[in-house]
Amino acid sequence: MEILIFPNALSLFMETGFDIMEYDKALKTLWLKRIGADAVDFGITLALAVFIGLYLIHFDWISILFLLQGPIWFVYSSVLDCVGGKTVGKYLFKIKSVAFIGDLRGYQCIARNATKLNFILFIADIIAGLSTEGDPRQRYTERIVDSLVVSEHKWDRKTESVEMEKREESEEREEELELPS
């Protein structure tokens, strides 16, 4: 007896964040804001790491990028997330870190920012969160500690069901127009 396994068979049952982004404008907007905020925060912490590394410790550029910048970004993000849920980048892009229940606790702030110790791990965390089943607003480590980032604008927080209803209505209208009378 031979069993055939189709490579895309699992994709019939699982919808990832990448799949949802194809039709959900609010999710796409949120991720663009998150990436923009992370780029701002990365730049701030890299500038601090360059100053410390070149002028105080006398590191080379590779050491600054791989040994110094990550821990600075981790501490910066963890402290600011715990204090107000926002880093400078999140403030500029009007997004905020929150817990599913209550306020962000210290362990949640530390765990959700742990991958910022190395920017390659951080990018892998984003990809893992968007390519697996679960809340598409979360990086993988955020799922572990029940936290996420949300937009502070009410008009950016459209739920998936509202978007789905609009899409279904437009598809129904298109089908009605295509039917011969």
- Mean pLDDT per 10-residue segment, the chain (181 residues): 48 74 90 95 92 80 80 95 93 94 92 93 93 90 93 61 61 67 54
pLDDT of residue 162: 54
Give the pLDDT score at 165. Answer: 61
The pLDDT value given to residue 105:
93
Three-state secondary structure readout of the chain: CCCCCCCCCHHHCCCCHHHHHCCCHHHHHHHHHHHHHHHHHHHHHHHHHHHHHHHHHCCCHHHHHHHHHHHHHHHHHHHHHHHHCCCHHHHHHCEEEEECCCCCCHHHHHHHCHHHHCHHHHHHHHHHHHHCCCCCCCCHHHHHCCEEEEECCHHHCCCHHHHHHHHHHHHHHHHHHHCCC
pLDDT given for residue 94 in this prediction: 95
pLDDT of residue 76: 96
pLDDT at 56: 78
Domain ranges of the chain: 16-164
Task: Report the predicted TM-score, pTM, of the whole model to 2 decimal places.
Answer: 0.74
- Give me the pLDDT at residue 58, please: 77
Q: State residue 127's pLDDT score.
A: 93
